[in-house]
Amino acid sequence: MGKAFQYSGQVIVYAAIAAFIGYFASRPIYHQFPEGHAQIKLSFAHGAARAKECRRLTSQEIAKLPPNERRPNTCERARIAMHVQLDLDGKIIYDARLEPTGLAGDGPARAYQKFAVMPGPHKLIARLRDSRDTNEFDYETHHEVVLEPGQNLAVDFKSDAGGFIFR
């Protein structure tokens, strides 16, 4: 077999490998999201109320504690579940009771959800209940928005900022 044949064969093999690498390095295109839709992304972590109210320790109980740990109150660590609702144009698209995280159930509850919606004008209402002994929502925020195709609307929650934040 001639050298020329061998070398041209090698060139073809290298070209084929290079083409293979070059193509699959970025093709075929992956459509991870329905074409022409917009997205609403709900994402936050929030600690709901403790399952039991803090109570005052009796003076005997305080006396039993080591001197450096004496304090007037005691609090159970476990939290209740948080209730979250998202209403889109009068239809409830999300309604969940989210359990606290952490082994002792004392961590914040986490919400993370994505919704693909049609672009255009929308009315959104986000609601959250994080307190004990009531069936009312503690927070409710209304938001009107005109979504463009491909837009990502984030729905965040911060209690110290007064509730839900849309951005």
Partner 1 sequence: MEIIRASLRSLFDRAERGLGLFFPPHWNPMLNLGALGFYFYWIITVSGIYVYIFFDTGVTQAYSSVEYMTHDQWYAAGVMRSLHRYASDGLILVMLLHIAREFALDRYRGVRWFSWVTGVPVLVMVYAAGITGYWLVWDRLAQYVAIVSTEWLDRLPIFGEPIARNFLSPASLESRFFTLMVFMHIAVPLIALIMLWVHLRRVSKPRINPPRGLAIGALASMLVLSLVHPALSQGPADLARVPGAVGLDWFYLPLYPLLETWPGPVTWGGAATLMLMFCVIPWLPPLRKPPVAKVDLANCNGCMRCFNDCPYNAISMHMRSDGLPFEREAVVDPSFCVSCGICAGACPTATPFRRASELVSGIDLPDMTVAQLREEVELAQTKLKGNARILVFGCDHGVSLKGSENGTVCSVALRCIGQLPPSFIDYVLSKRLADGVVLTGCAENSCHARYGTQWTDARLARERDPMLRARVPRERIRVLWAGRSGRGQLDALLTRFANDLAAMPADASPVHKSAEREASKELIDG
For residues 98 and 109, the answer to whether their CB atoms sit within 8 Å is yes
Instruction: Decide whether 53 or 148 has the Cβ nearer to partner 1.
Output: 148
- Contacts with partner 1 by CB under 8 A lie at 1, 5-7, 9-10, 12-15, 17-22, 24-27, 29-33, 35, 38-39, 41, 43-45, 101-102, 107-108, 110, 112, 150-152, 154, 156, 167
Taking the complex as a whole, the smallest distance from the CB of residue 114 to partner 1 amounts, in Å, to: 9
Structural element, H or E, at residue 15: helix 3-24
CA 42 to chain centre: 5
- Smallest distance from the beta carbon of 108 to partner 1, in angstroms? 6
Query: 88 with 124: CB under 8 angstroms?
Result: yes
What is residue 100's DSSP assignment?
A: B
Toward partner 1, which CB reaches closer, 20 or 123? Answer: 20
> Judged by CB, which is closer to partner 1: 72, or 112?
112
Minimum gap (Å) between residue 135 Cβ and partner 1:
27
Task: Give the integer Cα–Cα distance in Å for 99 and 139.
Answer: 18
